[in-house]
Amino acid sequence: MSIPSILSLVRDRLADPDKQRWSDDRLLRLLDSAQKDFARQTECFKGTFSLPLYAYKAVYTLPADCWRIMRAHFYDVNLPLYSYERMDSLDTNWYTRTGPEVKAVVFDKRNETEIRFYPIMDESILDNVYTFENETDVDYAGGNLGVVTAIDDFTFNSPYGAVTELFSVDIQHDEMNTAYGVVTDIAEANSNVDIIYIRDPKTIASITDTLEIGSRWEQAMENYVVGNCFLDDLDTQYQARGATALQLYDRELKVAKSAFARDSTASTKYKTNYSGGL
């Protein structure tokens, strides 16, 4: 069912077909909230992404739609998910440790948009390192001035003699260090941590957007929106009708939780209650 159709059914139940009391914007915000609440409680949407590892980088940013990390693995080895408190109990100086391979994913409950890897990766993960300052085997514009103009076996964009990008089919990611806008060295690596996570659905901001929840659960979306609309009004009867509609939403939610639980991956010792940022 399309979003305009759902809003039409909602207005029928609200007795507001002419949009005199509740605007489309208000209904869309509630529908977006309904879908996000449903998705978080049922954990029905899952996503995957790979975080490229960089030497001596401590903090990594999670995708904006990450709600909870389910599991992570490094070269197909499952990684435990630890809180700061857990790591502090194991090693008070854990955040300074460096090493050649990831042993754990560490999250901070106070900042759920970022994670750390333990230990911090050292230079052993780098496949190649190029240094461009005072090197005789690299061509410079106007002499040894630190501006790269050519590197053997590489194609790159170099407007006005300054390197902005490198391209290589064999390298997954590059880390460029710059001083005052001039590239001084480039480190190449192919190591990643693969993360499977519970994701939020896309934000609904327009009637032309698409509802990601399946049609089976559209009645739940409708009940959520109707219930919260009635709660906008302080009238006792409206409050009661709002509570009734939200009870119907909760009933649908319980059915959905049971349905998605049977279809989910079996839990492991690496499962965590960590919730990601929005």
In this prediction, residue 178 has a pLDDT band, given cuts at 50, 70 and 90, of: low
Question: Do residues 102 and 114 both lie within one domain?
Answer: yes
Average pLDDT over residues 9-33: 95
pLDDT recorded at residue 125: 78
Question: Do residues 50 and 118 both lie within one domain?
Answer: yes
Q: How far apart are CA 163 and CA 197, in angstroms?
A: 36
C-alpha dist (Å) from residue 33 to 70, 158, 163, 203: 23, 46, 45, 9
Average pLDDT over residues 54-80: 92
pLDDT recorded at residue 97: 95
Question: Do residues 108 and 69 both lie within one domain?
Answer: yes
Boundary of a domain, candidates 150, 167, 197: 197
Question: Do residues 161 and 225 both lie within one domain?
Answer: no
Question: Do residues 158 and 102 both lie within one domain?
Answer: no
CB-based contacts of 138: which residues, under 8 Å, 6+ apart? 130, 132, 148, 150, 151
Residue 59 domain-assigned?
yes
Question: Do residues 117 and 159 both lie within one domain?
Answer: no
Residue 267 domain-assigned?
no
Residue 85 domain-assigned?
yes
Boundary of a domain, candidates 140, 166, 189: 189
Overall number of domains in the chain: 3
Question: Do residues 56 and 91 both lie within one domain?
Answer: yes
Give me the sheet containing 66-74, strands edge to edge.
46-52, 192-199, 66-74, 77-79
Span 139-173, pLDDT tens digits: 434 444 445 555 555 555 554 555 555 556 565 55
Question: Do residues 113 and 76 both lie within one domain?
Answer: yes
Question: Do residues 209 and 256 both lie within one domain?
Answer: yes
Question: Do residues 252 and 211 both lie within one domain?
Answer: yes
Residue 40 domain-assigned?
yes
For the entire predicted model, the pTM comes to 0.71
H/E stretch holding 176: strand 173-179
Question: Do residues 69 and 93 both lie within one domain?
Answer: yes
Question: Do residues 216 and 243 both lie within one domain?
Answer: yes
Distance between the two ends of the chain, CA-based, in angstroms? 27
**DSSP state, 232?**
T
Residue 51 domain-assigned?
yes
pLDDT recorded at residue 152: 58
Q: How far apart are CA 31 and CA 221, in angstroms?
A: 7
Q: How far apart are CA 136 and CA 58, in angstroms?
A: 33
Domain, as residue range, for 218: 3-44+201-262
pLDDT at 231 over 70: yes
Comparing 276 with 170, the larger pLDDT belongs to 170
pLDDT at 64 over 60: yes
Span 90-106, pLDDT tens digits: 999 999 999 999 999 99
Burial class, 206, CB count within 10 angstroms (exposed 0-12 / middle 13-18 / buried 19+): exposed
Boundary of a domain, candidates 189, 213, 231: 189
Residue 69 domain-assigned?
yes
Residue 271 domain-assigned?
no
pLDDT recorded at residue 193: 92
Which candidate, 265, 267, 260, places its Cα nearest to that of 39?
Answer: 260
Residue 99 domain-assigned?
yes
